[in-house]
Amino acid sequence: MLDALEKTQKKVAYYALDLMKSELERTLADVPTYAYVQCAGLHGTYDDGLVWLQKPQNAGKPKAILSIGSSIGNFTRDEAPGFLGQFVNILGPQDVLLIGLDACQEPSKVYQAYNDSDGSVMM
């Protein structure tokens, strides 16, 4: 995904959010240096990410939020709409929220899904 964004030659800021600082650092260490895509980490919870999105310096910028994997699966059916509803007041008509779901419990298949054949981490 980041390689595709780089090919557009448009300045893009990519922020990875993770609760585990070690995982955030490991993932970002695997990201190559790009000329157009600026990458940074946000250490915290979804709530921290929502607060960060609402800061004045971020609120007016167009956003594409990507939630891959089983993050939404951490919520019950009753909790999930409330979680998603938090984005209603944050995202504007030009913004995008893309949610990926998986139900696979086999570690090798999950690994292959998030890492392409040359060993690159998908972001």
The residue among 48, 32, 40 whose CA lies nearest residue 12 is 40
**Selected residue with higher pLDDT from 105 and 32:** 32
* pLDDT score for 21: 95
What is the predicted pLDDT for the residue at 76? Answer: 87
- Please choose, from the candidates 88, 44, 96, the residue with its C-alpha nearest in 3D space to the C-alpha of residue 66: 96
**Whether the model pTM is above 0.85:** no
CA atoms within 13 A on the CB side of 90: 19
Domain boundaries, the chain: 2-114
Name the H helices within 13-94. 21-29, 46-54, 56-59, 80-85
Task: Name the pLDDT band for 3 (thresholds 50, 70, 90).
Answer: very high
- If you write DSSP's letter for every residue of 108-121 in order, what string do you get? HHHHHHHB-TTSPB
pLDDT tens per residue, range 63-121: 999 887 667 777 888 998 998 899 888 999 999 999 887 777 788 887 777 676 665 55
Residues in the chain: 123
